[in-house]
């Protein structure tokens, strides 16, 4: 989604701002721009399209100056055009502003400004309205003879505060004014903003990965924070003008961690990191002596955990699919009634819940607007609201009552891969912990721990199948789409396989429970539409075989992901068979999903798609 980078220091701002934007490129955008204060005027360059286009503009007419702001825009209000690209200016042309989020009442604010005589709007965006409003308030504060004269810096901060008090919506903002040297101002509500603290230089960014090459000291701003940033100091206050608590923390990862290394794509790198990320998700959390898991971050006493009588899991996209598997896991391992809800539905549905319900918001980024909204709604109603997040500094992580971090390391590829397997591991840890407080015996706990501990090596085995899967992908490069089927724990894996396929290949893809075939989907089966069956050698294997027979009878090609004896039994039925290690059903998705990630990846490469930056998609969806 949109990205912000701001800089004030002693170096030239242009290369830093451009480099920061490139580091945010993976998050998705359709236009980009910078504003740098060059002496006594703001120089702006912006355009629709890729950052490479912006770089060309900046090379043709280099803006110089040591402070400025920059932005990648993912269009919401108005198309992806040069005019709509950020930064936007106020009516005086002196104040430049970039904004992530949505100003819901922008039309009413715009009408008011127009009525007052401001006819200088040049874009269709909500952001430009905010720039005009701040600029108007700043200009009006230049001294009316009645109130004490403030410094221009204080006037600008106050103008922003007053404007934000009129705004309904979400924002992460950075702005500069050409009359106020070496000064940038930021604010956030519902859209992340981080302050990078350097030596004689400071940064603003919507994601710390944009600035981690320059500093690892960061202040993660809270909602309603306003930050005034200079070269060698900063001041954080609230929109209401009060002081604000903050701490400078060390960024968990380094610049090296967000490099592609020898991999052609981040997605492939992240798929191959899964043995390690799964290990990290379990590290220090398994207790073989007590045959259980230790999850201190939940911030719950044994008695409180013992009292949980219902669990609601919520998330979006891949995180939702992990939650769907979590429903099976928690019911099987812990025997606790569990439901999975789309975060976007849950937050508005007013679900009746019992007193001892615990809600888990699952989110890699910890910033997904709907998941955050769902968690806030659950908190508002007084339920214990926990997070399963990767980004430790994220809003969900900070606002939740506790939770479990994934520790998967930065996930840059838009298609979520390692975060999914980490989420399923964590749901198993939660199932084990809650289960051991209920009906699971010590020997059952020991078996679950053994199954979990074997995963990293088993993932390596599956990763070794990459070349086989690549050959399958080549074979189906001209397929018109792909269907995915699975049962029980592997039904959500079918959904996840289809999501990966459509996201990065743009092929039509659908996932279904295998048994749904004959309730309608079978009408789609034809020779150019392969069906992928996730059919490990488990309790429902024979039922999957029946469904595969039904597809074969209608000349549909079948790719089977199986295990154990499955390959032998499917030899005459499936065109292609991918065999993963045989494991208990509660951990099976962690292995069966890997071939699907690789299949989507290799097919996307074969089709020449932009794997890490698929069209129309953003890594983190911070708008509803």
Which residues are at the interface with ligand M6R (CB under 6 A)?
A: 316-319, 363-365, 368, 371, 414-416, 499, 503, 620-621
Q: Which is nearer to ligand M6R, 416 or 599 (CB)?
A: 416
DSSP string for 131-158:
HHHHHHHHHHTS--SSSPP--HHHHHHH
Q: Which is nearer to ligand M6R, 292 or 422 (CB)?
A: 422
How far apart are CB 492 and ligand M6R at their closest, in Å?
13
How far apart are CB 375 and ligand M6R at their closest, in Å?
11
How far apart are CB 218 and ligand M6R at their closest, in Å?
19
3-class DSSP state of 6: strand
Residue 368, preceding peptide bond in cis (omega within 30° of 0) = no
CA distance 214 to 7: 11
CA distance 4 to 2: 7
How far apart are CB 215 and ligand M6R at their closest, in Å?
24
Query: Which residues have a Cβ under 8 Å from the Cβ of 42 and sit 6 or more positions away?
Result: 35, 36, 89, 93, 94, 95, 96, 176, 178
Q: Which is nearer to ligand M6R, 282 or 316 (CB)?
A: 316
Q: Which is nearer to ligand M6R, 123 or 597 (CB)?
A: 597
CA distance 532 to 574: 9
Two structure tokens written together for 284: 């220090």
Q: Which is nearer to ligand M6R, 363 or 592 (CB)?
A: 363
**Torsion angle in degrees (nearest 10) through CA of 497, 499, 504, 509:** 80
How far apart are CB 342 and ligand M6R at their closest, in Å?
11
How far apart are CB 514 and ligand M6R at their closest, in Å?
23
Question: What's the angle, vertex CA 44, arms to CA 41 and CA 50, rounded to 5?
Answer: 165
Catalytic status, residue 316: no
Q: Which is nearer to ligand M6R, 91 or 473 (CB)?
A: 473
How far apart are CB 281 and ligand M6R at their closest, in Å?
14
H helix runs in 384-513, sequence order: 395-399, 418-436, 442-463, 466-475, 491-505
Two structure tokens written together for 48: 């629709």
Q: Are 243 and 225 in contact (CB under 8 A)?
A: no
Strands 202-205 and 194-197: antiparallel
Two structure tokens written together for 505: 């290949």
Two structure tokens written together for 126: 């909500």
Q: Which is nearer to ligand M6R, 364 or 488 (CB)?
A: 364
CA distance 419 to 238: 34
Catalytic status, residue 309: no
DSSP character at residue 330: I
Q: Which is nearer to ligand M6R, 141 or 363 (CB)?
A: 363
How far apart are CB 428 and ligand M6R at their closest, in Å?
18
- The active-site residue, picked from 136, 269, 502, 619, is 619
How far apart are CB 371 and ligand M6R at their closest, in Å?
5
How far apart are CB 419 and ligand M6R at their closest, in Å?
6
Which residue is at the shortest CB distance from ligand M6R? Answer: 317
Residue 607 CB-density burial (10 A; 0-12 exposed, 13-18 middle, 19+ buried): middle
Please write down the HEC assignment for all residues of 597-615: HHHHHHHHHHCCCCCCCCC
Q: Which is nearer to ligand M6R, 373 or 431 (CB)?
A: 373
CA distance 361 to 370: 10
DSSP H/E element including 165: helix 152-166
How would you classify residue 200: left for phi > 0, otherwise alpha for psi between -120 and 50, otherwise beta? left
Q: Are 427 and 326 in contact (CB under 8 A)?
A: yes
How far apart are CB 125 and ligand M6R at their closest, in Å?
23
Terminal C-alpha separation, the chain: 12
Two structure tokens written together for 606: 């074969």
Q: Which is nearer to ligand M6R, 394 or 547 (CB)?
A: 394
Q: Which is nearer to ligand M6R, 31 or 314 (CB)?
A: 314
Task: Say how many CA atoms lie within 13 Å of 407 toward its Cβ.
Answer: 16
DSSP H/E element including 174: strand 171-177
Alpha carbon separation from 109 to 38, 100, 116, 163 (Å, rounded): 31, 18, 11, 10
- The active-site residue, picked from 2, 291, 316, 389, is 2
Backbone angles phi, psi at 573, to 5 degrees: -105, -40
Q: Hey, which residues are catalytic here?
A: 2, 619
């Amino acid at each position: 989604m949109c990205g912000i980078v701001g800089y004030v220091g002693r170096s030239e701002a242009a290369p830093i701002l451009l480099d920061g934007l490139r580091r945010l490129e993976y998050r998705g955008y359709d236009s980009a721009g910078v504003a740098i204060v060059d002496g006594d005027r703001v120089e702006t360059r912006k355009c629709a399209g890729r950052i490479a286009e912006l770089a060309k503009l900046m090379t043709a007419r280099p803006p110089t100056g040591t402070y400025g702001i920059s932005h990648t825009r993912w269009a919401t209000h108005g198309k992806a055009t040069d005019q709509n690209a950020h930064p936007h200016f106020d009516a005086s042309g002196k104040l430049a502003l970039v904004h992530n989020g949505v100003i819901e009442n922008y039309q009413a604010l715009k009408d008011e400004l127009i009525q007052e005589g401001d006819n200088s709007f040049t874009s269709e965006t909500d952001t430009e309205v905010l720039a005009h409003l701040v600029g108007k308030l700043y200009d009006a504060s230049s001294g009316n003879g009645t109130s004490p004269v403030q410094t221009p810096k204080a006037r600008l901060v106050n103008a922003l505060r007053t404007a934000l008090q009129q705004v309904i919506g979400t924002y992460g903002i950075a702005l500069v004014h050409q009359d106020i040297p070496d000064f940038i101002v930021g604010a956030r509500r519902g859209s992340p903003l981080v302050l990078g603290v350097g030596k004689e230089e400071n940064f603003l960014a919507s994601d710390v990965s944009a600035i981690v090459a320059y500093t690892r000291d960061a202040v993660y701003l809270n909602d309603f924070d306003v930050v005034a940033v200079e070269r060698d100091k900063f001041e954080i206050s609230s929109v209401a003008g009060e002081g604000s608590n903050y701490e400078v923390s060390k960024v968990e990862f380094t610049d090296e961690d967000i490099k592609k290394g020898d991999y052609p794509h981040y997605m492939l790198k992240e798929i191959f990191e899964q043995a390690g990320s799964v290990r990290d998700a379990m590290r220090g959390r398994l207790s073989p002596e007590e045959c259980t898991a230790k999850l201190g971050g939940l911030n719950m006493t044994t008695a409180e955990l013992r009292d949980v009588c219902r669990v609601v899991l919520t998330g979006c996209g891949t995180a939702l699919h992990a939650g769907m598997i979590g429903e099976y896991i928690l019911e099987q391992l812990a025997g606790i009634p569990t439901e999975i809800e789309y975060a976007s539905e849950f937050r508005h549905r007013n679900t009746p819940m019992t007193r001892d319900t615990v809600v888990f918001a699952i989110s890699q980024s910890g910033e997904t607007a709907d998941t955050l909204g769902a968690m806030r709604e659950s908190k508002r109603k007084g339920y214990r609201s926990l997070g399963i997040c990767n980004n430790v500094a994220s809003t969900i992580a900070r606002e939740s009552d506790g939770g479990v971090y994934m520790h998967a390391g930065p996930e840059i590829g838009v298609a979520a891969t390692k975060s999914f397997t980490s989420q399923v591991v964590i749901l198993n840890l939660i199932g084990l912990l809650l289960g051991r407080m209920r009906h699971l015996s010590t020997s059952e706990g020991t078996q679950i721990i053994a199954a979990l501990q074997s995963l990293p090596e088993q993932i390596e085995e599956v990763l070794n199948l990459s070349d086989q899967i690549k050959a399958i992908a080549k074979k189906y490069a001209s397929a018109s789409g792909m269907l995915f089927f699975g049962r029980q724990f592997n039904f959500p894996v079918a959904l996840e396989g289809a999501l990966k396929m459509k996201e990065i290949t743009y092929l039509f893809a659908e996932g279904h429970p295998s048994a749904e075939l004959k309730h309608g989907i079978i009408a789609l089966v034809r020779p150019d539409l392969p069906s992928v069956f996730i059919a490990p050698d488990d309790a429902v294997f024979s039922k999957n075989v029946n469904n595969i027979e039904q597809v074969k009878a209608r000349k549909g090609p079948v790719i089977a992901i199986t295990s154990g004896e499955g390959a032998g039994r499917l030899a005459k039925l499936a065109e292609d068979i991918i065999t993963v290690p045989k494991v208990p059903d509660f951990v099976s998705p962690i292995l069966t999903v890997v071939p699907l990630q690789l299949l989507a990846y290799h097919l996307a490469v074969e089709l020449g798609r932009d794997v890490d930056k698929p069209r129309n998609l953003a890594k983190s969806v911070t708008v509803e």
